[in-house]
Copies of this chain bind each other. A is one copy, B any other.
Amino acid sequence: MAAARSSAAAEKRRAILDAAVRVFARQGFHTSRVSDIADEAGVAYGLVYHYFRSKDEVLDTLFLERWDVLLETIREVDQQDLPVRDKLGAIAGFIVDSYRHDPDLMKVVIVEVTRAANTFGQTHLAKIREAYALIAVVVEHAQARAELRSDIAPQFAAMAFYGAIEQVLTGWIFDILPQAPADLEEAKRFVVETICGGLDDRSVG
């Protein structure tokens, strides 16, 4: 059947994307050549251009695949009837788990797109903003229910929350922070606890 052909083709496409993740993670997008991707995938140079219009489109695809899942997750989380801490915990958890599951992919998404908003990510600014906006909505809802203080703009709170997570990820990516399984697990709780509870010592004493 013809399906065999097209599913084999789909696998090739996937192989190229997976190879690109490894190459981009190792060398960075700008210093990666298309031939590096082809070699890593064990495929001819030209085939990359059979499946993708350009080198940029490969990165585009990787980013969008992942980011859309993130956006969907945030939307779902917000619709549930949970305390803010659980909602934010779920979001932080998703991001941390994404890193645990495929550190290379998260490295590429964060370092090459999210954090490179000037050169490349300009294209994706709207998508990136959407995540901030969705988190801001979560905060807003919590403020409306008096779960969170209302004297801090939700947009700023969202940036602080997301910034804290991204910075921790960046710390792992560049081996600045310890990343044993226990550290990853702790980080989820830590980010939420820091942002919601604050660092102040409130012990009785």
- Contact, CB under 8 Å: A177 / B159: yes
The 6 A-B pairs at the shortest CB distance, nearest first, are namely A163-B167, A198-B198, A28-B119, A115-B115, A160-B164, A163-B163
- Contact, CB under 8 Å: B191 / A160: yes
Contacts of A29 in B (CB 8 A): 119
Taken together, the copies of this chain in the complex come to: 2
A contacts with B, residue count (CB < 8 A) = 57
- Contact, CB under 8 Å: A199 / B196: yes
CB of A142, distance to nearest CB on chain B (Å): 8
- Contact, CB under 8 Å: B176 / A167: no
A165's closest neighbor in chain B, by CB?
B163
Contacts of A60 in B (CB 8 A): none
Contacts of A30 in B (CB 8 A): 30, 119
Q: Is A61 an interface residue (CB 8 A)?
A: no
- Contact, CB under 8 Å: A167 / B160: yes
Contact residues of A between 95 and 152, Cβ < 8 Å to B: 107, 111-112, 115-119, 125, 129, 132, 139, 143, 146-150, 152
- In the assembled complex, the Cα of A115 lies from the Cα of B190 at a distance in Å of 23
Knowing A111-B118, A190-B156, say if A168 contacts B177 (CB, 8 Å). no
- Contact, CB under 8 Å: B152 / A190: yes
A205's closest neighbor in chain B, by CB?
B146
A-B contact pairs, 15 of them (CB 8 A): A125-B174, A129-B176, A139-B199, A148-B201, A149-B199, A149-B202, A155-B177, A157-B194, A159-B168, A163-B167, A164-B167, A195-B195, A196-B198, A198-B198, A198-B200
- In the assembled complex, the Cα of A176 lies from the Cα of B125 at a distance in Å of 9
CB of A67, distance to nearest CB on chain B (Å): 16
